[in-house]
């Protein structure tokens, strides 16, 4: 049946594009570009970036004075990042030491 053909095709895609853990270094942030093991350069079109790794500021008021506070600095050039391969895309799992 058609459903069996679709199921087989889907399973083949999953097996061919298995997830894997990689490490890279941030080259630029605007636009975001991460170099993986000196052999692969990923731009923001292939990266999935969680909110925790994006720069964020909030506005806060203290004693009647409004100020912007940095909540998350985001990724910076030179940061080492852990990436999880998800087929043709890569999830930036976080910053790592080193």
Q: Which domain holds residue 57?
A: 2-96
Per-residue pLDDT of the chain (98 residues; tens, 9 = 90+): 545 555 665 565 555 555 689 999 999 999 999 999 888 999 999 999 998 899 899 999 989 999 999 988 899 999 999 999 998 899 999 999 87
d(CA 60, CA 71): 11
Pair of tokens at residue 87: 């087929």
Number of domains in the chain: 1
CATH of the domain at 56: 2.40.50
Please answer whether residues 23 and 36 qualify as being in contact, where contact means their C-beta atoms are separated by less than 8 angstroms. yes
Q: What is the pLDDT of residue 76?
A: 93
pTM: predicted TM-score of the whole model, two decimal places: 0.70
Among residues 3, 4, 97, 90, the alpha carbon closest in space to that of 42 is found at: 90
Preceding omega of 27 cis (within 30 degrees of 0) = no
Burial (Cβ within 10 Å: 0-12, 13-18, ≥19) of residue 67: exposed
């Amino acid at each position: 049946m058609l459903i069996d053909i679709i199921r087989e095709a889907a399973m083949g895609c999953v097996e061919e594009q298995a997830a894997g853990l990689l490490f890279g270094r941030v080259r630029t942030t605007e636009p975001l570009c991460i170099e993986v093991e000196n052999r692969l350069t990923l731009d923001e079109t292939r990266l999935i970036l969680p909110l925790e790794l994006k720069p964020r500021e909030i506005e806060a008021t203290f004693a009647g004075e409004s100020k912007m506070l940095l909540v998350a600095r985001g990724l910076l050039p030179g940061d080492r990042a852990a990436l999880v391969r998800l087929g043709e895309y890569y999830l930036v799992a976080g910053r790592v030491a080193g």
